[in-house]
Amino acid sequence: EFDKVQSLEGVYLANLLEPLKPESENKGQKSEDAKDAEALEEESTGTAVEKRHTAKAKSKDETVVRTVISFDKGSYWSYLKAPRVDSLGKEIDCPKDRCWLHMHGVTNFQNYAPFYSTENAIGIIMGTGNVGTKLRSEPDQTNTYMSRDGGQSWVEVHKGAFIYEFGDHGGLIVM
């Protein structure tokens, strides 16, 4: 999935698929998350993300979906920075080295509203998703998020998945 932030030139959001290694390859080793904890942070920006973006997943392997953003027309990609607190003001329990925001895109529009922006609401982006190492589809894990600065930072605006619309050039947001 790939979408342009409508109000900002050169800003794009994308969901990329990363193949999981079969269990037989991990036998006697640490789990995938534990093994890659340090590497994930190092790989969360630049060419490592680009390489993953072009990698092909095997048809029978499970895949992990992660959301990335580019602020320079797609030449440099990074994971979305996760908010530190939820919509109730409680700190989000997530290891800093594996903690990113992941958003649902148009391929899952039957269940969740995709990331959304309009040309008239400059810098405002909304979407449904979760904080963690990968995108999850469980309803109790999915919340509604918003960025007011074109994707640089994000806040959880409400627990649960909602649909949304902007009015008055972003001065009115309805969920």
Interval 43-95: pLDDT, tens? 555 655 555 555 444 444 567 999 999 999 999 999 999 999 999 999 998 88
Question: Would the pTM of this model clear 0.85, i.e. be above it?
Answer: no
pLDDT of residue 96: 82
Write out pLDDT tens, residues 107-130: 877 789 889 999 999 999 999 999
Find the Cα–Cα–Cα–Cα dihedral 82, 1, 19, 35, rounded to 10°: -10
User: Rounded distance, CA 64 to CA 130, Å?
Assistant: 13
